[in-house]
Amino acid sequence: MRGRAATEDSEAAMVRGVNVRWIKVGALMFAGALGGALGTVVAPEVGVSKDLAFRLLIYGFVALTLGGEGSYLGSLIGGLAVGLIDALSARYLGGEWSEVIIFVLLLVVLVTKPTGLLGRARTRDV
């Protein structure tokens, strides 16, 4: 809850006594530790190439956009959808079609629901 408050409205979180700086530093440390730990497990199995990081970055962005910004459950569903579509389309249609299908799905979701599947439009009173 504190992490969400720190990202949604850091000033209001600070007023309520949340140490926003520590929350952000802690989240960065956790993400780095998790990425490093999982990288050592996955790298020997998958192998490493110069294009791997960019592809994972794009897939992460697509998963976030599909699920909706600010929705943890939506991002999880988006990530699962991207992973399943990538694996199934590579198996049955060939590896070159997986990215095309993922981006067509992204385009369809952005046209029909611009905030993502579970995202909500953020409005701010001025």
67-80 mean pLDDT:
83
Q: List pLDDT tens digits, range 75-94.
A: 888 889 888 988 898 888 87
pLDDT number for residue 33: 92
* Domain positions in the chain: 1-46, 49-126
Q: Span 11-32, mean pLDDT?
A: 82
Q: What is the pTM of this model?
A: 0.56
Alpha-carbon distance of 42 to 32, in angstroms, equals: 15
CA atoms within 13 A of residue 53's CA, in its CB half-sphere: 3
Residue 12 has pLDDT above 80, yes or no: no
Structure tokens at 89: 């389309």
Confidence of residue 50 (pLDDT cuts 50, 70, 90): confident
CB 64 within 8 A of CB 118: no
Residue with tokens 């046209």: 111
